[in-house]
Chains A and B, each alone.
Chain A
Amino acid sequence: MKNIIGFIFNALLGLLFLLFFNGNIKLEKLPLPALGKFLDPVKGIWSNAIHSYDDIVLSSDIIHEDSKVIFDERYIPHIYAQSLEDALFLQGYVEAKTRLFQMDFLSRASSSRLAEVLGPTALPIDIDRRKKGTEYAAQIAVEEWKNYPKESALLQRYIDGVNEYISNLRQKDYPMEYKLLGFKPEPWDMTKGAHVFKYMSDVLSYGSNDLANTNLRGLLGEEIFTSLYLNPDNLTYPIIPNDKIYKKDSTSKTIADTTMIKPIANVSFEKYIPGIGSNNWAINGSKSSTGNPILCGDPHLMLGLPSVWIELQIKTPDFNAYGVSIPGMPGIMIGFNENMAWTETNVGMDMEDLYTVQWEDASRKRYLADGTYHDAILNIKEIKVKGKPSVFDTAYITKFGYVRKLSNDAKNDLASSWMPAQKTGRPDFTTFVNLMQAKNTEEFNSYLKVFSNPPQNFLFASKNGDIGLRINGDFPARGPNDGLYIEDGTKTTNLWAKKIPFEELPYILNPTSGYITSSNQKSTSDNYPYFYTMRHPDHHRNRIINDLLAKKPIFTLKEMKEMHGNSVSYKARDFVQAVMKFSDDSNKAYLNKLIKWDYYFDKNNEAPALFMELFDKMTSLTFDEIDSLAKNYHVRHPESHMLIKLVNEQPEHIIFDLKHTPAVETAKDIFNLSVSELLKDENSAHNKKTVWGQSRKTNLYHILRLPAFSELDLATDGHPETINAIGTAWGPSWRMVVELGEKIEAWGVYPGGQMGSPASKYYKNFMPNWLRNEHYKLHFSNTPEDIAKENIVQTITIKRK
């Protein structure tokens, strides 16, 4: 009996430990990975320590001819294939090899599938994502892409490459995040690719000021709203110079929107992250010391690990291209080939319009449009939750778009018409596959016709001397004020009537100035015939870049590279110059430090920290009326340059009056009050003598936000409103300089590293160079032999089966 008990007791105990360490038994209050699988030294996380750089020979029946991939000393893959199809197969293969978890995660994030692997903590993120409808937009895109079999076949080649890697992946070689979370990679497909595509569309073109504008117009009154939010900005240089003459398509919508929707209380809506943006500029031969055009790319995106970009070269007998791609998407988004270089900044035009929804009842089944009720399309999704029962979320789709459920009683719902969720009528994903092959300006422009969203300022330079920029994508053709406010969603006449024709999109080629720049500022002057609304118009970076390029006749390559690291702030300069007139004994101690400053956001200088805290303090005191509205309404502050404009032009504007005092304050009073409060505050940067690098930290979080895999608390120069737009979590994501001489030469650097694995030495090895703004010379090779042997880390040869 004793032996039977002993056997049962020990067997159960062993089984209990096995099941616990295998992840079958979970402790609610102690969320742990399956420790047995995770810490298994043979197949678990320890095996991710081993990186083999031995040369590999593979065989595949998908490729047409033998191909080769060489990884250079920074682990940049150089793909040498005999056809575009084979090249895309290899692009898929190497992107999966280096960034599989990142691709998977982006696709899951876009399609509300995070809770499936992360558990209940990610459920709110998944449900929030459903509100945006990126998965729905991806479904529309895939349905449409399938109508283009030739182009879809190219995308399929990329997918085949990803799956070739996944199908040969052993459990011990899974990226460590899979081991930590305890799931397996799934085969890649067109829908997953579309999710990544729409994820980026969301980052760059989702969001609307309509609700905030509607609330503010109703609550502040038309006059104050107009003076604070629609006040013309006379300092910005439009991307396309003012003298450009436009023709107009007579059939475009030009009727002003006159709907007056009342403010809507107690509904929340996402806010923009201030300071998101990008720079690009190009000079032609007349302004370059070598006589060759130089193009500089500087997209600003979320700073994270792994980097948002992956760098690669693709060489076939027909083209040779180099640049960066988003993992999960074929082609090269920002880069160059033997003839052209190209780079983008976000246009930032308003791509989302909101409409009221008048439901028949709270069931949200039928909605009113043009006098009759129509059935809404119900889109039900099972959101799987790891360790918990699934949650079912219903989305409602009307003629006005995907419905944002903003209230339980369905009375304040808003339908969202989002351009990237509209049918495009073309295989837009092929744009960046085609651009790799562009031989000249004409071809480049013809390839841009296919592109739809998110709208971009495509800057290019060509070896033959052209520099040009096309503001490109699908834009609603708007009449005056269309898109500024929420519109009446019971009339289909309020829907977008048509898009701006490609031929009428703003375009500039070889300006007499010899340079072109864009920084998310206004695209055109006011003589552009279509009404134009911006999500986040840049006011400062574009002026700095334009002034720098205008003030010198000739630039060297070194100066072009140095511009990427320029941390001078016009915002700081404009502000200090505006408030200098308020100098007196009470604020001299504070103001003098700013007057002596060179307006450079240097991490070791105290002045940037003083400026930021003063600017923020004055902003919050000035716009106290708006902050008090924020308790009940979704509102927003005016653009940051508006405070400076008001101090300069309307120092007695009613907005400076503090609501809680009987006196009527002016800009000077607010300035003095701001300084006085900061001098009294023992935690202020002034009293603590905090330098900028201490006051503001830059964080590059791993995609799972695990500190162990992240690069945190970095002291950095720059500010989102300087050219070197390093922010807390956003910033320069790919600094690229290309000189288009007889032999193309290029330099580039991005934050992070090529490998997605935190255990790899190539995970964040670019960080020191990125922080110092030191570009790497890029190996733009013609043959594998062009890369010096000592610079080759690994070679993969793929033979046709």
Chain B
Amino acid sequence: MKSIKLSIVAVIIVLTIVFGQEVLPWWISGLISFICGFFIINKRYTAFIFPFLVSGLTWIVLAFIKENSAEVSIVNMVSEIFKNVGKIPIFFITGLIIALVNGFFSLSGNYFKRVVSPQPASRKIR
């Protein structure tokens, strides 16, 4: 059940990034992560780390796909703009941007769920 829920979250985030970001702002998946953290994800740790990883990896993979089909390397140019930090750090930073936003919004959504519908003290939060 847990893996199904997480799979649903992953699909929602990936679809939001791939399709939603075409017309909506880059941070739209953060809003979706908040909703996922509220409705779908139960565990606090998971609420942060899962959207963090899924969205970060999605951005990195998308950037990597585009870099691979580039006529002139984008990552080299961006690295040079940022004082030659290197290719890998550029991909890492790309992923980290959305990962941080989504991770914290998802976690805040999860906390918000506990504010509006407190869990019974005896029940272990999963």
Interchain CA distance A18-B97 in the complex, whole Å: 8
Q: Are B59 and A41 in contact (CB under 8 A)?
A: yes
Residues of chain A in range 702-736 having any CB-CB distance to chain B below 8 Å? 706-709
Q: Contact mask A12-50 → B, CB, 8 Å, 1/0? A: 011001100110000000000001110111111111111
Q: Are A759 and B93 in contact (CB under 8 A)?
A: no
Q: Are B94 and A10 in contact (CB under 8 A)?
A: no
Within the complex, the shortest CB–CB distance from A46 to chain B, in Å, comes to 4
Contact of A3 among B30, B79, B101, B111 (CB under 8 A): B111
Contacts A7-B111, A41-B63; A35 near B104 (Cβ below 8 A): no
List B contacts of A39 (CB < 8 A). 59, 63, 78, 90, 93-94, 97
Within the complex, the shortest CB–CB distance from A766 to chain B, in Å, comes to 15
Interchain CA distance A18-B93 in the complex, whole Å: 14
List A contacts of B71 (CB < 8 A). 49, 51, 759-761
Q: Are B93 and A46 in contact (CB under 8 A)?
A: no
Interchain CA distance A14-B79 in the complex, whole Å: 26
Residues of chain B in range 73-113 having any CB-CB distance to chain A below 8 Å? 74, 76-81, 90, 93-94, 97-98, 100-101, 103-105, 107-108, 111-112
Within the complex, the shortest CB–CB distance from A171 to chain B, in Å, comes to 9
Q: Contact mask B56-80 → A, CB, 8 Å, 1/0? A: 0001001100110111101011111
List A contacts of B100 (CB < 8 A). 14, 17
Within the complex, the shortest CB–CB distance from B64 to chain A, in Å, comes to 9
B118 within 8 A of A: yes
Q: Are A763 and B111 in contact (CB under 8 A)?
A: no
B1 within 8 A of A: no
A758 within 8 A of B: yes
List A contacts of B76 (CB < 8 A). 708
Q: Are B70 and A759 in contact (CB under 8 A)?
A: yes
Closest to B115 in A: A3
Contacts A6-B111, A21-B101, A709-B77; A41 near B22 (Cβ below 8 A): no
Q: Are A41 and B101 in contact (CB under 8 A)?
A: no
A180 within 8 A of B: yes
Closest to B70 in A: A49
Closest to A172 in B: B22
Within the complex, the shortest CB–CB distance from B18 to chain A, in Å, comes to 7
Within the complex, the shortest CB–CB distance from B73 to chain A, in Å, comes to 8
Contact of B77 among A4, A43, A708 (CB under 8 A): A708
Within the complex, the shortest CB–CB distance from A126 to chain B, in Å, comes to 23
Q: Contact mask B1-37 → A, CB, 8 Å, 1/0? A: 0000000000000000110011001110010001000
Q: Are A35 and B97 in contact (CB under 8 A)?
A: yes
Within the complex, the shortest CB–CB distance from B88 to chain A, in Å, comes to 14
Contact of A758 among B67, B69, B72, B108 (CB under 8 A): B72
Within the complex, the shortest CB–CB distance from A19 to chain B, in Å, comes to 10
Closest to A33 in B: B81
Q: Are B97 and A46 in contact (CB under 8 A)?
A: no
Residues of chain B in range 43-66 having any CB-CB distance to chain A below 8 Å? 44, 59, 62-63, 66
Interchain CA distance A47-B79 in the complex, whole Å: 16
List B contacts of A760 (CB < 8 A). 71-72
A11 within 8 A of B: yes
List B contacts of A48 (CB < 8 A). 74
Within the complex, the shortest CB–CB distance from B119 to chain A, in Å, comes to 9
Q: Are A36 and B22 in contact (CB under 8 A)?
A: no
List B contacts of A180 (CB < 8 A). 81
Q: Are B66 and A46 in contact (CB under 8 A)?
A: yes
Closest to A761 in B: B71
Contact of A36 among B97, B104, B118 (CB under 8 A): B97
List B contacts of A21 (CB < 8 A). 27, 97, 101
Interchain CA distance A763-B77 in the complex, whole Å: 13
Q: Are B77 and A40 in contact (CB under 8 A)?
A: no
Binding site for A on B (CB under 8 A): 17-18, 21-22, 25-27, 30, 34, 44, 59, 62-63, 66-67, 69-72, 74, 76-81, 90, 93-94, 97-98, 100-101, 103-105, 107-108, 111-112, 114-115, 118
9 residue pairs A–B, Cβ–Cβ below 8 Å: A6-B44, A10-B105, A13-B104, A14-B30, A17-B104, A36-B101, A46-B66, A46-B94, A49-B71
